[in-house]
Amino acid sequence: MNKPASFANWKLFWKRWGVGLSVAGVIIAAIAYYYARSPQATEAVLASTLRQSVPLVLGALCGLLGERAAVINIGIEGQMLMAAFVGFLVNVYTGNLLLGVLAGIAVGALLGLLLAFMSVTLKIDQIIGGTVINILAIGLTGYFYKVGLSGHGKLNAIPLGPLAKIPLLGPVLFNNPPITYTAIILVFVVHYVLFYTPWGLRTRAVGEHPRAADTLGINVYLVRYVNVVVGGALAGLAGAYLSLEAVGSFERLMTNGRGFVALAVMIFGKWTPLGSWGAALLFGFASAIQTQLQFGGKVNIPPQFIGMLPYLLTIIVLAGFVGRARPPAADGIPYEKEG
Amino acid sequence: MSEIALEVRNIVKRFPGVLANDHVNFVLRKGEVHALLGENGAGKTTLMNIIYGLYRPDEGEIYVDGQKVTIDSPHDAIRLGIGMVHQHFMLVPVFTVAENLILGAEPTKGWSLDLKAAREAVRRLSAQYGLEVEPDAVVEDLPVGVQQRVEILKALYREAKILVLDEPTAVLTPQEVEELFVIMRQLTQRGVSIIFITHKLKEVLAIADHITVMRRGKVVGTTTPAETDEAGLAAMMVGRQVVLQVEKTPAKPGEVVLEVENLEVEDERGLPAVDGVSFEVREGEILGIAGVQGNGQTELVEAITGLRHIRNGHIRLGGQEAPERAPRYLIEHGMGHIPEDRQKHGLVLSYTIADNLVLCTYYQPPFARGLQRNQAAIVENAERLVNQFDVRTPSIFTTAGSLSGGNQQKVIVAREFSRPLKLLVANQPTRGLDVGSIEYIHKRIIQMRDQGVAVLLVSAELDEIMSLADRIAVMYRGKIVAVVEAGQVSKEELGLLMAGSGIEKARAG
């Protein structure tokens, strides 16, 4: 290749990746700076960032699977809460953590099925369908929860051999409990499915122009059902993370709005898995730094205000820093077959 | 192998209250273009949706290649080699050409999409049938004519032997129509059989081998272009003799009524849709705005009728700039509007015909007495107008939504024409109407002109513009590229102008 051409390639490369690379550079520089000053605190904040991001990214994947197929799911919060509760109960009565996790996933998927039934088959307004699930979950978990139940342990970190011994990277990336690893893998799996497989192409077509998909022999209803149910399973996994991995027990309303923040994460991530992961890490960082600030004791701000940080970020993001993201064209619109 | 590609026998399809297909018989021979002609609501599209598996017939049989088949879904139709290009394109706007092509029948490598194979398929089919498209172009960036090619390619990719084209020329310029006809000929030479649905008589005579005419769900007859002419086909479609040529006397333009100066208007996305447009319309003349849909006509009309903010420029009605461009001010100063979308902007579908007829005047006497409605006057008004404008309805208390398109349009025309008008803005006044209603509305518009009303007529139908307008302004990408006297311009020249070439170039080439 001659010189001007390669120069042009550079320009193109920079245009495409420049912003991303600059941001990455700043982040790496900042981490290096703080690591040099206080290795332990930096490790703690980063590890906490990753873990705080887990329910958010799983929730966002749930939301975007649905919305890519044109079903808006605002019941993520309820799906998480119910899954956290049932997963915890199963653990209490069987003493088996894996069974608890599977139960959580199953409950999430079942609520996904309920949402799909309401919004795809019955064609109920999707916001109302999601709200039904949220209220249902709050009501049922609140009614059946008994104070004093105690679970049998929680999912512990699994260090990945020598990888876990790398300074900084080891403790942050390679010494995590199983659902955290799974969430990271799922980000890439969903990305692959959505953009590189026939199923993904069909899902996106159903979200953009369902009638076109229908005329090509694609079963619009089936695609929506499967995506919403699989999404529900992911939200269920997020719930299991909260009760069985992060805390090890259940509290009333323990999801604390994460299902809604996950929707903000999804929008900030422009309905893409990788974008959502980035956004989830940002929100996770806001939560992590909040803990650090509260317990570091160096800053003199009332903890209530520090606790607002993630939610403030949500408002700021939704209020207009999203850029020109375009939701799927048919998002939220029930599909009516002709004839 | 039989000579017949597709045959339907005694197809019956009922919708609530309507017999959409009444024992329809239809035979498509191999390698022919068979036109299916009929007014809106004659049952053409219903029949095609049955053939494509979108509807199920209540009675009747379908034979493909001499074999009796049942078609329960588009999937079955595709498997039988039937492809359909819908009137409203079934393309995913944000996908590339290649992605649209393979959707639903994706080539794969392992679990992954094989987009390389998809691009290859686009190139192969493009070359084979002379349909040029760029595989990686995003569909929403393509002109409609090219999008249509993508639709045809989609059918060919699924190895369609029978191709249904539903009103394919509605969105095309005359030149694009010519190109489409060339493509259709190439396809039939390669053994593809084409069903061509339309209500445009000239096109049928130009391209079809056989013509089947439908009316009110029934097949009226089958003929060939050699055996008939436009008048004959129109009579078959409508069931009576129709005057196709609009009769009118030369215009006698008077004072300027509407003056538009350097108008700039933005569309929904904030992009300039009308870009520095100036023109005037005088008493007793019809100014026609020609152009392919989506070149700023909608925004122009909305600006003039006070439905959209203007960014720059002036609109004067009777020499006066409207102090506030509120629709009510304009209506009270003599503006009538036949909107583009009669169901969305022309009528309140859930209101009765009587109420729709006083939508602009309900607050004035005699229809209002203080704060109350005067029901007697409203009813009297409705009965008079329904009679005068020949609205076919069981009652004036029928809701507007249950009328046919032609009758809905007549209600709008009746409402607007019953007020004293100075300016009439008519946007696509006959879109989707049958020949009979078109004839009627054209006559009424000419009548208004002859009474001294200034008429601004916007239409994508060149025939309509050419037969009604006294002067023609051509709009392209938000600008008026030429204003010509009607009668001094040919259809071909107008077509070229609509596609963006200047007047000299259009005259030269």
Cβ contacts below 8 Å, chain A against chain B, sum to: 72
Asked if B102 has any chain A CB less than 8 Å from its own CB, the reply is: yes
d(CA A205, CA B154): 15
Q: Is the pLDDT of residue A269 over 80?
A: yes
Question: Residue B108 is nearest to which of A198, A205, A217, comparing CB atoms?
Answer: A198
- Closest CA in chain A for residue B88: A212
Task: Test B74 with A198 for CB contact under 8 angstroms.
Answer: no
Per-position DSSP letters for B374-432, written without gaps between them? -HHHHHHHHHHHHHHTT---S-TTSBGGGS-HHHHHHHHHHHHHTS--SEEEEESTTTT
Asked whether residue A104 is assigned to any structural domain, the reply reads: yes
Higher pLDDT, B217 or A197: A197
Asked whether residue A11 is assigned to any structural domain, the reply reads: no
For residue range B425-467, what is the model confidence (pLDDT) as tens digits?
A: 999 998 777 777 888 889 999 999 999 999 999 998 888 898 8
Across all residues in chain B, what is the average pLDDT? 89
CATH of the domain at A305: 1.10.3470
Question: Residue B113 is nearest to which of A197, A212, A339, comparing CB atoms?
Answer: A197
Asked whether residue A329 is assigned to any structural domain, the reply reads: no
Specify the residue for token string 């089958």.
Answer: B222
Q: How many CB atoms lie within 10 A of CB B403?
A: 21
Q: Is the pLDDT of residue A29 over 90?
A: no
Q: Is the pLDDT of residue A286 over 70?
A: yes
Give the three-state DSSP class for B77.
Answer: helix
Specify the pLDDT at position A3: 44
Chain B closest CA to A187's CA: distance in Å?
Answer: 17
Complex ipTM more than 0.90, yes or no: no
Specify the pLDDT at position B144: 81
Give the three-state DSSP class for A290.
Answer: helix
Specify the pLDDT at position A131: 96
- Closest CA in chain B for residue A327: B94
CA-based end-to-end distance of chain B = 47
Beta strands B454-459; B423-427: pairing state? parallel
Partners of A202 on chain B (C-beta within 8 Å) are: 103-104
Asked whether residue A38 is assigned to any structural domain, the reply reads: no
Give the three-state DSSP class for B265.
Answer: strand
Using an 8 Å Cβ cutoff, are B379 and B396 in contact?
A: yes
Task: Test A202 with B104 for CB contact under 8 angstroms.
Answer: yes
Q: Is the pLDDT of residue A1 over 60?
A: no
Q: Is the pLDDT of residue B150 over 80?
A: yes
Specify the pLDDT at position B1: 44
Q: How confident is the model at residue A81 (pLDDT cuts 50, 70, 90)?
A: very high
Closest CA to A136 of A77, A89, A200: A77
Q: How confident is the model at residue A299 (pLDDT cuts 50, 70, 90)?
A: low
Using an 8 Å Cβ cutoff, are A80 and A59 in contact?
A: yes
The amino acid that residue B390 corresponds to is: D
Specify the residue for token string 């991303």.
Answer: A20
Task: Test A216 with B94 for CB contact under 8 angstroms.
Answer: no
The amino acid that residue A257 corresponds to is: G
Partners of A212 on chain B (C-beta within 8 Å) are: 89-92, 103
- Closest CA in chain A for residue B118: A198
For residue range B172-183, what is the model confidence (pLDDT) as tens digits?
A: 777 888 889 999
For residue range B116-136, what is the model confidence (pLDDT) as tens digits?
A: 999 999 999 998 888 889 999
Residue range A281-294: mean pLDDT, rounded: 83
Q: Is the pLDDT of residue B498 over 90?
A: no
Q: How confident is the model at residue A324 (pLDDT cuts 50, 70, 90)?
A: low
Fold of B246-334+421-509: Rossmann fold (3.40.50)
> Among B81-85, B185-189, B320-324, B385-389, which is the least confidently predicted range?
B320-324
Closest CA to B475 of B504, B492, B499: B499
- Identify the H or E element spanning B37: strand B33-38
Residue range B378-396: mean pLDDT, rounded: 90
Specify the pLDDT at position B384: 94
Closest CA to B100 of B74, B132, B138, B129: B138
Range of the domain at A152: 47-318
For residue range B255-279, what is the model confidence (pLDDT) as tens digits?
A: 999 999 999 998 877 788 999 999 9
Q: How confident is the model at residue A127 (pLDDT cuts 50, 70, 90)?
A: very high
For residue range B475-484, what is the model confidence (pLDDT) as tens digits?
A: 998 999 999 9
Specify the pLDDT at position B212: 95
For residue range B277-286, what is the model confidence (pLDDT) as tens digits?
A: 999 999 999 9
Across all residues in chain A, what is the average pLDDT? 88
Q: Is the pLDDT of residue A4 over 60?
A: no
Specify the pLDDT at position A8: 66
Q: How confident is the model at residue B57 (pLDDT cuts 50, 70, 90)?
A: very high
Specify the pLDDT at position B374: 92
Residue partners of B100: CB distance under 8 A and separation at least 6: B91, B92, B139, B150, B154
- Identify the H or E element spanning B22: strand B18-29
Task: Test B90 with A208 for CB contact under 8 angstroms.
Answer: no
Partner A, chain B 30-89, Cβ-Cβ below 8 Å: 49, 52, 54-56, 73-75, 78, 84, 86, 89
Specify the pLDDT at position B108: 92
Asked whether residue A110 is assigned to any structural domain, the reply reads: yes
Specify the pLDDT at position A321: 58
Q: How far is CA B315 from the centre of its chain?
A: 28
Count the alpha carbons within 13 Å of B137 in the hemisphere toward its beta carbon.
15
Chain A closest CA to B506's CA: distance in Å?
Answer: 37
Specify the pLDDT at position A323: 58
For residue range B239-248, what is the model confidence (pLDDT) as tens digits?
A: 877 766 777 8
Q: CA-CA distances (angstroms) from residue A45 to A245, A288, B39, B478?
A: 18, 6, 71, 55
Using an 8 Å Cβ cutoff, are B474 and B295 in contact?
A: no
d(CA B454, CA B468): 13
Separate counts of helices (H) and strands (E) for chain B: 17, 24
Q: Is the pLDDT of residue B509 over 60?
A: no
- Closest CA in chain B for residue A212: B90
Specify the pLDDT at position A97: 94
Asked if A202 has any chain B CB less than 8 Å from its own CB, the reply is: yes
Asked whether residue A120 is assigned to any structural domain, the reply reads: yes
Kindly list the domain boundaries of chain B, sorted by start residue. Answer: 4-238, 246-334+421-509, 343-419
Per-position DSSP letters for A209-221, written without gaps between them? -HHHHHHTT--HH
Contacts 24+ apart (CB under 8 A), B318-321: B318/B257, B318/B422, B319/B256, B319/B259
How much of chain B, in percent, has pLDDT values that exceed 70? 96
CATH class for the region spanning B4-238 = alpha beta
Separate counts of helices (H) and strands (E) for chain A: 14, 2
Specify the pLDDT at position B353: 94
d(CA A322, CA A309): 18
**Sheet of B218-223, strand order:** B82-85, B162-166, B193-198, B33-38, B210-215, B218-223
Chain B closest CA to A209's CA: distance in Å?
Answer: 6
d(CA A179, CA A52): 12
Q: How confident is the model at residue B324 (pLDDT cuts 50, 70, 90)?
A: low
Per-position DSSP letters for B315-350, written without gaps between them? EEETTEE-SS--HHHHHHTTEEEE-S-IIIII--TT
Task: Test A218 with B56 for CB contact under 8 angstroms.
Answer: no
The phi, psi pair for B39, rounded to 5°, reads: -70, 170
Instruction: Give the count of domains, chain A.
Output: 1
Using an 8 Å Cβ cutoff, are A191 and A136 in contact?
A: no
Task: Test B90 with A204 for CB contact under 8 angstroms.
Answer: no
Specify the pLDDT at position A292: 76
